[in-house]
Amino acid sequence: MNTPLSALPDTPTPAFSPLYQQIKALILQNLKAGEWKPGEPIPSEMDLAARFRVSQGTVRKAIDELAAENLLVRRQGKGTFVATHTEHHVQYRFLKLVPDSGDLNSEGPAERTIVDCKRLRAAADVARALSLRTGDAVLQVRRVLAYGGVPTILEDLWLPGVPFKGLTAERLTAWRGPMYSLFEAEFGVHMIRAEERIRAVLPDDAQAALLAVTSATPLLSVERVAYTYHDTPMELRRGLYRTDTHHYRNELG
């Protein structure tokens, strides 16, 4: 029976795990270790099959799952590449607010304003979300996204201090691409999945002023924890969304 090469002994491969899932875990371990960086090609299915001593079909099934999870991207005639947040189809993966008329492409990129960027000690709720200890260093960012000159999204982000050492308001303002592509390119942090909680809320006075609404305007509150490889939380994001010209759209199935 084919068995994977034990190149990564710390990768768990329980007996009941299908072989392609074991290969998927090995590929993920290599991605986490930075062997193949975002935007770079991974070895061919034939080379990976030889490396792990399995069939190409087994490798293909593992890659199919990683591609379905937006971790890898197949490019016809070119090979398979590590997904990056600079790619068009990935840029909007975590942005679900779309205009009532048209789409994100017709609307164009948001106008971004960094309101604040500071280092502080993590409060208990932030530390819990980021798997830190209360009082650990975190970076807090507040920004406003506007469409057509109308402030539409207010976001507060908390990032663990150590991986994001050196991130400043100036660097955030100067970066023209998606924020997650900045994290990827300059800090080696690749966000691969997120969990969200959504509810309706009323803004406080400061939030209402930044979004140019009254404190009696209902807003959509979206709290997100974004994870890198091996389910390591790397960002807590709390967003307030205006829904008078936009709606939250999610595809199921």
- Residue 115: the pLDDT is 96
- Residue 105: the pLDDT is 63
- Residue 23: the pLDDT is 92
Q: Which pair of structure tokens corresponds to residue 138?
A: 């975190």
- Residue 248: the pLDDT is 85
Tens of pLDDT, residue by residue over 68-89, are 887 888 888 888 988 876 654 4
- Residue 83: the pLDDT is 82
Cβ within 8 Å of residue 43, ≥6 positions away: 51
Residue of 190, 188, 191, 181 lying closest to 226 (CA atoms): 191
- Residue 89: the pLDDT is 44
HSE-up (13 A, CA, CB side) for residue 187:
22
Do the beta carbons of residue 42 and residue 34 sit within 8 Å? no
DSSP notation for 81-111 = EE--TTSHHHHTTT--EEESSS-HHHH-PPE
Do the beta carbons of residue 240 and residue 214 sit within 8 Å? no
3-state secondary structure of 80: strand
- Residues recorded for the chain: 253
Do the beta carbons of residue 90 and residue 119 sit within 8 Å? no
- Residue 106: the pLDDT is 66
Cβ within 8 Å of residue 102, ≥6 positions away: none
> Which regions in the chain score pLDDT beneath 50?
1-15, 88-92
DSSP notation for 8-61 = -TTS---TTS-HHHHHHHHHHHHHHHTSS-TTSBPPPHHHHHHHHTS-HHHHHH
